[in-house]
Structure 1
Amino acid sequence: MNLHYALIAFILLYIFITGFHDEGNLIATIISSRSIGIRSAFITASLAQFIGTATLSTTVASTISKDVLNLKYLTIAGNDLYIMIFTGLLGAVVWNLITWYIGMPSSSSHALVGGMIGPFIIKYGIYSINIYGILLKVIIPLFLSPVFGFLIGYLVMYFTSRILRSAGVKVNTVLKKLQYLTLFILNAGQGANDAQKGMGLIYILTIGSSLSRSSEFHNMIKVLSAFMISFGLLFGGLRMIKSVGTRIYRVKPFHSFNAQISSLFIVITAAVFGLPTSGTQIINSSVLGVGAKERPTAVRWQFARSMFASWIITIPASFAISSILFLISKTI
């Protein structure tokens, strides 16, 4: 039982790391464009993350707990379940810390999926994972979301440019104020999505054991997850802001507004269908789309290519790290 709750504590730490690794991306355009002050943006975003995680439905957590791993192997793993989840999660954390340290936007969602399937495939083989569920509800949404982010960002920029082409410079004041609303909704929705991935791991533990299945326990986990991801944002969010706000495309309030609106389309869709998405991918691809519409030559495509490359290699990298860690654990 002590091991059970120790692992839950580690999962909550992972949610905290997700907060400072990923969630700063969601406010990067707003701060870089000076649409909202740094302190106000962080307070608004962290409050939204807490409220969204604590109050929204847990459909994404259900997807992670039921559609990634074959439930049969969760029940027969015994105490090895704790080792596999620990090493899988540690593999994701190691990769997240590497990309966070070098300031490269990558997907914690991809890292988590790659990390979790590694130990199970090593121990039980390919049939221990739900290939159909991973493909349909995890891999496809994660890889399509940046494509849609780019396209929607391009289209939103096109239409708003036409609608506001005769507006004066005072329209920027209105757009800045509107971004308080987009900031709150985006962080409430995507923050809850990101926190629920860790919550899904906790639910996996409850499947593999007879402990802590009460509704009171699940409500407590939601509140603790909300606390961890919101404080993770406060502690580490600044590092990614330069990458998103300046290294992809130099955003102004108009660009930031369009990127926020574009991201909301995907976040709301994901919330409705319970699809795990990456806030990093969504906001970065939206910025790319906005920049490509206005001035393609000003988009830093070289950085964009390296960013996409990091997304592609994240699952294999975290898979390899967690697999090695699991093999090492078996020799100890």
Structure 2
Amino acid sequence: MTLTLVIIVVVVALVFDFTNGFHDSANAMATSVATGAFGARQAVAVAAVLNVVGACLSTEVAKTISSGIVDNSLVNPQTVLAGLAGAIVWNLVTWLVGLPSSSSHAMFGGLIGAVLVTAGMAGVHWGVVVSKIILPALVAPVVAGIAAALSTWISYKITSPTAHHASRIFRHGQRLSASMVALAHGTSDGQKTMGIITLVLIGAGYQQSGTHPHWWVIALAGCAIGLGTYSGGWRIMRTLGKGLVEIKPAQGFCSETASTVAILASSHLGFGLSTTHVCSGAILGSGIGRRGAEVHWGVAGRMGIAWLLTLPAAGVVGAVASFAASKGAVGLVGVLVMLIGAAIVVLAVARHTKVDHTNVNDSHEVTVRLSPEPEVAAATPAPVPVQATVADLLKPAAEKPGGHHREGTDGSNPRMAGSGAGR
């Protein structure tokens, strides 16, 4: 029974690793896809390969997770399964609405919530949580943002990045800097699932506490995050590439370089850093550093709210799942059914708001077409198509779009745009 449970948890951990890959693929490639330095498909292929390579370079972060955050002597496979459930559900929800929240913090929150139910406050090493998770989450985005802002400002001072030849040079540079972010992402996030699987093996008595991940754990975790990265994660890539600032090649190069340095340094020190936080902070910094760049602070604010909610939200789901899993086989089946059901619901909703490599550089908001499909619309001309964002669909009827003061997804006023034949 123990071995069967361990296998189930390892499989679920690899599923989480896959969601981590598609959730965070935007971190490395969003700005390069937005500027045209990489084609969309080419970008995710390069990122996938480098994520696998990066995952195999170090195991310091994995060791932090397997023996640092919680007391592994009080953890069993059911607890880890519950924690993963919290992380996967949060990843799916934030991916659906295109919010680049932290997969790492989702995993930490789910695990902490699960451990609190089974072992109480004593089961969590709060000092490690504060020093290696909370503080880096506060400091790293600011540091990366300041570095990106300064380097962007300097770039525009010493050259003219808007000139064709300079823009082309920076675009070529982005191919290298984005690749380095993908490699760094592998050294950080690729290790987190390794740490989770190692924690399961320790809790089940198949591995000694304090030891590094087995080679097969490294290989499986690396491949899972690589496959997830290759799947795209286009919704979040659209938000990071188009939603925060209008990225130019010089900004993309500077933000990616700043992100790489921050992520590699934190991985070397064993910090459970969120690459999403770092890359988002760097992109915002690049917008601040370019004079005249428009920073969409509303989008940044929604991202900040998601960041604040990640740990507690995943923790609540992890706690509920842990309580259910503690009730025996029926509870474990219930947790698995919940995971499968959540995935089915999210994917069903996502079908109505499709974002892929063909439209990733469109408006940063995920849209639902209420007009005919493009092929049908071409054959039967229709009035101006009505669109609604996912957020609009969740509003009360009185607040839904259609009023005279509705603004378009690009910030334009339909009343102004409709002064011609479209009115």
- TM-score normalised to the size of structure 2? 0.73
Residues paired across the two proteins, number: 324
1:260 aligns to 2:256 (yes or no): yes
**Equivalent of 1:223 in 219, 230, 233:** 219
What is the aligned partner in structure 1 of residue 71 from structure 2? 70
How far, CA to CA, are the matches of 1:216 and 1:302 in structure 2? 42
How far, CA to CA, are the matches of 1:166 and 1:186 in structure 2? 22
How far, CA to CA, are the matches of 2:203 and 2:316 in structure 1? 24
Tell me the CA shift for residue 217 of structure 1: 7.4
Which of the pair has the greater relative contact order for Cα pairs under 8 Å at 6+ separation? 1
Matched-pair identity in %: 28
C-alpha contact 1:23 1:279 (8 A) present in aligned 2: no
What is the aligned partner in structure 1 of residue 374 from structure 2? none
Pairwise mapping of residues 78-97 of structure 1 onto structure 2 (< 5 A)?
A: 81-97=76-92
How far, CA to CA, are the matches of 2:64 and 2:154 in structure 1? 35
How far, CA to CA, are the matches of 1:316 and 1:217 in structure 2? 28
Tell me the CA shift for residue 28 of structure 1: 0.4
- Going by fraction, where is helix more abundant, 1 or 2? 1
Rg larger in structure: 2
Structure 1: gaps of 5 or more residues: 75-80
C-alpha contact 2:48 2:229 (8 A) present in aligned 1: yes
* 1:299 partner SS: coil
C-alpha contact 1:22 1:280 (8 A) present in aligned 2: yes
Tell me the CA shift for residue 33 of structure 1: 1.1
* 2:164 partner SS: coil
Name whichever of 176-185 and 99-108 sits farther off.
176-185
How far, CA to CA, are the matches of 2:66 and 2:161 in structure 1? 51
How far, CA to CA, are the matches of 1:42 and 1:83 in structure 2? 34
* 1:39 partner SS: helix
1:180 aligns to 2:175 (yes or no): yes
The 1:12–1:33 alpha-carbon spacing in structure 2 relative to 1, beyond 3 Å, is: same
What is the aligned partner in structure 1 of residue 9 from structure 2? 7
What is the aligned partner in structure 2 of residue 139 from structure 1? 134
Give me the CA root mean square deviation.
Answer: 1.9
How far, CA to CA, are the matches of 1:220 and 1:296 in structure 2? 50
Partner letter of residue 22 of structure 1? D
1:21 aligns to 2:17 (yes or no): no
Deviations 1:113-163 (CA, angstroms, capped at 9, x unpaired): 110011211222111100111111122112222121221111111222222
How far, CA to CA, are the matches of 2:21 and 2:292 in structure 1? 31
Pairwise mapping of residues 151-190 of structure 1 onto structure 2 (< 5 A)?
A: 151-165=146-160, 168-190=163-185
C-alpha contact 1:115 1:321 (8 A) present in aligned 2: yes
C-alpha contact 2:177 2:256 (8 A) present in aligned 1: yes
The 1:323–1:210 alpha-carbon spacing in structure 2 relative to 1, beyond 3 Å, is: closer
Partner letter of residue 59 of structure 1? E
How far, CA to CA, are the matches of 2:4 and 2:282 in structure 1? 44
Tell me the CA shift for residue 35 of structure 1: 1.6
Tell me the CA shift for residue 296 of structure 1: 6.5
Tell me the CA shift for residue 105 of structure 1: 1.0
Runs of 4+ in 1 over 6 A off after TM superposition: none
* 2:205 partner SS: coil
* 1:105 partner SS: coil
What is the aligned partner in structure 1 of residue 44 from structure 2? 42
How far, CA to CA, are the matches of 1:107 and 1:236 in structure 2? 16
How far, CA to CA, are the matches of 1:166 and 1:299 in structure 2? 19
Structure 2: gaps of 5 or more residues: 332-423
